[in-house]
Amino acid sequence: MNSHTHFLLPLLCALILFQFNLISWPLAILAGIIGILIDVDHYVEHILHAKTNRFSLRATWNNSIKLHRFQQRSFIHDGIGVVLLTVLMGISLFFNWQVVIVAAIGYYSHILLDYLHLNKERFLKSKILTFYLRESYFEITLDIIIILGIIIVLII
């Protein structure tokens, strides 16, 4: 999934908590930002494995979207990483439960979206300058539904 979807879904979930006065609106936005930041490991993996343009954000982006020269997801995207972060968040709950809930929303929504692939997805592909863009029709539909959800939650 693309970064904007990784922002929108946790934002929607956190805004629901905001409407119930469980968290503040800056924390709701933080949930969306955390949803995006989980993919920072793509950049780290790019630095570790790329043969050329090691520190290039453009090369990292294009490898992730189109080229797929090597796996950019680190351990935090599955298996032991999910277990470790779940234990860490569980322990951290005793210190600041609101920040942990926000981090959990950002993290688990990210993992869910990354594994939410349909077998025969069709993609909308384009290129802006030197950046490849690719978004499935499923993701576009999902984005529209989430945005409508955000509007409804904010109106209620």
Cα-Cα end-to-end distance for the chain = 28
Q: What number of H helices and E strands is found in the chain? A: 7, 2
Binding to Zn ion (CB under 5 A) within 80-139 occurs at 114
The CB-of-6 to Zn ion minimum distance in angstroms stands at 7
How far apart, in whole angstroms, are the C-alpha atoms of residue 104 and residue 89? 7
Q: Which of 24, 21, 5 is nearest to 102 (CA)?
A: 24
Contact 69, 138 (CB under 8 A): no
Please tell me the count of residues contacting Zn ion according to CB under 5 A.
2
The reply to whether 39 sits near Zn ion by the rule CB under 5 A is yes
The CB-of-94 to Zn ion minimum distance in angstroms stands at 28
Please say which residue, 81 or 153, places its beta carbon nearer to Zn ion.
81
The CB-of-45 to Zn ion minimum distance in angstroms stands at 11
From 37-45, 78-86, 122-130, 144-152, span contacting Zn ion (CB under 5 A)? 37-45
Provide φ and ψ at 124, rounded to 5°. -95, 115
Please say which residue, 71 or 96, places its beta carbon nearer to Zn ion.
71
From 9-17, 38-46, 52-60, 143-151, span contacting Zn ion (CB under 5 A)? 38-46
CB atoms within 10 A of CB 140: 14
The CB-of-39 to Zn ion minimum distance in angstroms stands at 4
Q: Which residues bind Zn ion (CB under 5 A)?
A: 39, 114
